[in-house]
Each structure stands twice: as structure tokens, then as C-alpha cells.
Amino acid sequence: MRSRQRMFAAVMRLLLKCLRLGRRRRFKLVRQVEQLWHYGHLCLRSLLYNSFTNGDVVLDSLFEPVYWLVDHVTRWFGVVFVALVIGLTSSIVAIVYICLLPLILQTYTPAWICWHLAYGHWNLIMIVFHYYMAITTSPGHPPQAKNDLTGVSICRKCIAPKPARTHHCSICNRCVLKMDHHCPWLNNCVGHYNHRYFFSFCLFMTMGCIYCSISGWEMFRDAYAAIERMKLLEKERLQVATNQTYYQTPPPTFSFRQRAFHKSVVYLWVLCSSVALALGALTLWHATLITRGETSIERHINRKERQRLQKKGKVFRNPYSYGSWDNWKVFLGVDVPRHWLTRVLLPSPHLPHGTGLSWDLPPCVTEQRAPLLAI
């Protein structure tokens, strides 16, 4: 009896030891997992810690694959976009010359004919000139040598001197002087030497589209009504052909030339109106930036700098802004009053002020503004 009790007690002690050992091992495993988790979390925070990190940096990091895809796709599709601009513009010009110009010469008064011929051809020349110059003119790149540049930083991507207002274009893979943006419709960067050509092209293209939309409004209404009438007569002709008797004749049909004329007028008005709205909004945006003496990139930089200084009780002043009127004179290269005609209203290949490496006060500026931060 005692031997059985001893054996039972030994088995129970062994079972309790096993349970305690299992609990210890389980608690030890949980502690190890917690330690690994805290260690990994600490390593991750130490690798990613940055005092300047905010929501914008996180979003930029998340969208980095999208940026990479856009950079590479835009580089290859730039030629397609340029061909599309040339093709659409050529189609509008062809419709005007083939369809609308003969009608204008037959129905309009001599005064209106002279107005349309003069304004239309002037607007077309300005569009073609500025678009050609925008796609063929280099925006300007800083020299690789460091000797001639003073007070510049180093670009982190191309490891080269980076003057003020210069930014790196990931699509062109080069630094661009006074970079505004990379335009796929030009297959070129918009920078110091072709910024004026880009804006002038947008402005005159918007003016041309508005001119075509307003001038062709009545023709568009007539052409649209004629197309609807074509559809109705075509439907009636099919019904008559289905139930045709000896005394019935199908209604007359429109010729191919009439159909092409009406559809071309509708195509012209719809395309010009759409481009006028979209490109007009872009032109107004760039006009606002020019008035403030900023580029598209500097707009975001200055906004963040303005918010940072505002928290410190300081006021930010743009060192490259000389006032609204003087900003336009500097941008357009207007030094004397006659330049408004020879350099703005007529095609002109004149160079902008400065070299894009340093930003001295232009001679056309009437008074110098404070270029520093005011407390």
C-alpha cells in the first residue's frame, strides 16, 4: 500500500515538474518574441528617423514607384505627344483653309475678310514660331566645371554644381537652369532659355482656339443641325427602302462632300473649345506664377518656407520678385517701350536676362525690392 502511494506521489511530482517546465518555456518564448519585436522596431525607427520627416515625405516615398514609371513613360512618349500637337493643329488649319476660308470670302464684307485674314495669319505665325522655338531651344544647363561658379550647392543626383533656381530633371537626367517643369507636349524641359517660348505658345494657342470657337459658333450650330437632319433623312430612307412601292421614292441624300464639310466644322469647334478651356486654365496659372516671380517648383518651395517662417514670427520675401509689372518686363525681355511690339507682339528670338547662373538686378527693373527675409 505504501509503495503504491509512493509511486503515485512520484508520478504526480513528475507531472507537476513537466507542467512548470512547459510554462517556463512558454513564458520564455513569449519574452523572446517581445524582445525581438522591440529590437526590430527600434532598428526600424533608427534607420528611418529624420527630424524633417512629415506627411509629404511619406507620400513622396509611397509614390516613388509611380514617379519612376511616369519619368520613363514620359521620356518615350514625348515624341508621340509632339506629333499629336502638330497633327491636331495641322488638321484645324487645313479645315479652316479648305472649308471655312472659301465661305468667308463669299459671304463676309471686305472689312471682316481683312480682319480674319490679318488676325488669323498673325496668330498662326505666332503659334508656329513659339512652339518650334520651345521644342528646339535648350532650357539651359549648368557647366560641369566648378571654377566659374560661386556660392553654389551640389546636386545629389548628378554630382555637379547646382546654381540658384536650378533643379534636377529626372526625365532628362540633367540639371536645368531655372527649371519650371518637364513638358511632355514639348518633349523638353521648360527652363531659363525657353520659358518665354513655352508661355507665349500657350497664350497664342489659347487665343487662336478662342478665336476659332467664337468665329465658328454660328457655323457649328448650322453644321450640327445639318448632321441631325442627315441622320433623320437616313432613317427615313431606310424605312422607305424597306416598304417601297411603285409610287414611292426615297428622300434625297447628302453628298460625301456635304457630310465631310459639316462634320469638319463640328470637329473644329469641339476641339478648339476643349483646348481653349484646358490650355486657358494652364496659361492663367503660369501667368499668376510669372506675376509673383516664381516657377512651378519654386511655388511649392516658397509656400513651405513661408509657413516655416510664419511659425517663427517672420515674413518671407521672394528674392527673385521685383513687383508684378517688373516681373513681366523681366520675363518678356522688355527693356524699352518699343520692345512690346518687336519682342512681344512679333516673333523674336531674343535671349532672356542673365545667364541663369547668377541673378543680378536686370536693367529694366525700376526699383529694387528687399531680397532678404524681413523679421
C-alpha 246 chain-centroid distance: 64
- Amino acid identity, position 55: G
**Residue from 183, 202, 209, 212 carrying the catalytic annotation:** 183
- Cell 514607384, residue located: 65
Taking the C-alpha atoms of residue 187 and residue 81, their distance in angstroms, rounded to an integer, is 8
Instruction: Assess contact for 143 and 175: CB atoms under 8 A.
Output: no
Contacts of 271 (CB under 8 A, 6+ apart): 88, 92
Q: Which three cell numbers stand for residue 292?
A: 509673383
Contacts of 203 (CB under 8 A, 6+ apart): 283
**Angle separating helix axes 256-292 and 217-242, nearest 10 degrees:** 150
How many DSSP H helices and E strands does the chain contain? Answer: 11, 6
* Cα angle 224-262-113, degrees, rounded to a multiple of 5: 105
Task: Using DSSP, state whether 315 is helix, strand or coil.
Answer: strand
Task: Note the helical H segments in 243-367.
Answer: 256-292, 296-311, 324-332, 339
Taking the C-alpha atoms of residue 138 and residue 136, their distance in angstroms, rounded to an integer, is 6
HSE-up (13 A, CA, CB side) for residue 64: 6
Catalytic residue status for 158: no
- The catalytic residues are 183
